[in-house]
Structure 1
Amino acid sequence: MLKNLSLQVLFFFLVFQLLSWFQTTDMLATDSTINTSFMVQTTMEDEITLAADNKTLVLYFFAPWCSVCHASIDNLQKLYEKNEQFDVIAVALDFTEKQDVLDFAQQHQLTFPIVFGNEKIKQAFKVFAYPSYYVIDEHNSIKSKSVGYSTEFGLYLRSL
Structure 2
Amino acid sequence: MQGGTGALGRMRAAWNEARRRWWVRWGVDLALLALLFAAVTAWQTRRLPGGGTPAPDFTLRTLAGETVSLEALRGKPVVLAFWAPWCGVCKMESSNLSQLQSLAGDSAHVVSVAVAYDDEEAVRRFASEHGVDYPVLLGDDSTQRDWRVNSFPTVFFLSPEGRVERAVVGYTTLAGLGWRLLL
Aligned to 1:104: 126
Structure 1 residue 26: deviation in Å?
Answer: 0.7
Give the gaps of 5 or more residues in structure 2. Answer: 1-20
Does 2:16 align with 1:4? no
Question: What one-letter code is carried by the residue in structure 1 that aligns with 2:145?
Answer: Q
Q: For structure 1, list consecutive stretches of 5 or more residues without a partner in the other structure.
A: none
Report how many aligned residue pairs link the two structures. 159
Render the CA deviation track for 1:10-65: whole Å, top value 9, x for unaligned.
211111110001100010132001133x2111011111113433111101000111
Report the structure, 1 or 2, having the larger helix content. Answer: 2
1:125 aligned to 147, 152, 166, which one? Answer: 147
| CA RMSD of superposed structures (Å) | 1.2
Q: 4+ residue stretches of structure 1 with deviation over 3 A? A: none
Partners of 1:74 and 1:19 lie apart in 2 by 24
Partner of 1:79: 100
* TM-aligned CA deviation for residue 93 of structure 1: 0.8
Overall identity of the aligned pairs, in %? 25
Q: Secondary structure of the equivalent of 1:35?
A: coil
Query: In the alignment, which of 73, 76, 79 is matched to residue 55 of structure 1?
Result: 76
Give the secondary-structure state (helix, strand or coil) at the position aligned to 2:53: coil
SS at match of 1:83: helix
Larger Rg: 2
Counterpart for residue 18 of structure 2: none
1:40 aligns with 2:82: no
TM-score, normalisation: structure 1: 0.94
TM, length-normalised to structure 2: 0.83
